[in-house]
Amino acid sequence: MHRPALLALLGTVLLQACGPTPTEPTAPAAPAPAPATYVLGNDEHRVSPLAQLMRDMTAFADSTKARLATGRDLPPYPAGFKDMLTAEPTPGMVDHRTYDPFAFAYLHQLDSLYRAPVAARREVFDGLIGACAACHGEVCPGPLERIGKLRSDHRAGTTSKEQDRPIDGAAH
């Protein structure tokens, strides 16, 4: 009869693997002024090079979204994101047979964004966020809420998925 305990344990393991980031969209560089840190008797929480790169990718998506919304140009092409293919992950987080095809899809979409005509950028950008979400749906569901908030909500008519459900009161 210890099934709930087992599930809770599994949940904890999954959270540690993929959900240790704050759920609020805080700026990656600014440490939140948290009054206390959570110490759960297990300080395995180190930021792997891949996790750090993901934070950079998130910041890039945030600022690109803001730029597109105000009609500005794209940021400089983030050539370093190709490192997502080789950057060291948190142990056990990446099975390259599953991960790599999603990574190639993301990088391909990133290139498409820089090739797209200006009028199509927001749509292509949402496809890029879709590539984040597709991989995370397979390998790392923790950050999906934050990823959903990155979409530009362009009104070109055919936004596909129902990714951005109303989630919480953190809307700006």
Residues within window 31-90 making contact with ligand HEC, judged by CB under 6 A: 47-48, 50-51, 54-55, 57-58, 61, 89-90
Query: What's 65's DSSP letter?
Result: H
Task: List the structure tokens of 62.
Answer: 């945030």
Q: CB-wise, 3 or 164, nearer to ligand HEC?
A: 164
- Residue 20's Cα: distance from chain center in Å? 13
Residue 146 near ligand HEC by CB under 6 A: yes
| Cβ burial, residue 131 (10 Å; 0-12/13-18/19+) | buried
Q: Yes or no: say if 125 and 110 are a contact pair by the CB < 8 Å rule.
A: no
CA distance 146 to 125: 15
**Least Å distance between CB 2 and ligand HEC?**
29
CA distance 172 to 168: 11
Identify which range of 15-23, 31-39, 66-74, 162-170 contacts ligand HEC by CB under 6 A.
15-23
Residues within window 83-142 making contact with ligand HEC, judged by CB under 6 A: 89-90, 93-94, 99, 102-103, 106, 131-132, 135-136, 139-140
Task: List the structure tokens of 165.
Answer: 């459900």
Size of the site for ligand HEC (CB under 6 A): 30
**Least Å distance between CB 95 and ligand HEC?**
9
Radius of gyration of the chain (CA): 17
Q: Yes or no: say if 87 and 50 are a contact pair by the CB < 8 Å rule.
A: yes
Residue 21 near ligand HEC by CB under 6 A: yes
Residue numbers at the binding site for ligand HEC (CB under 6 A): 18, 20-21, 47-48, 50-51, 54-55, 57-58, 61, 89-90, 93-94, 99, 102-103, 106, 131-132, 135-136, 139-140, 143, 146-147, 150
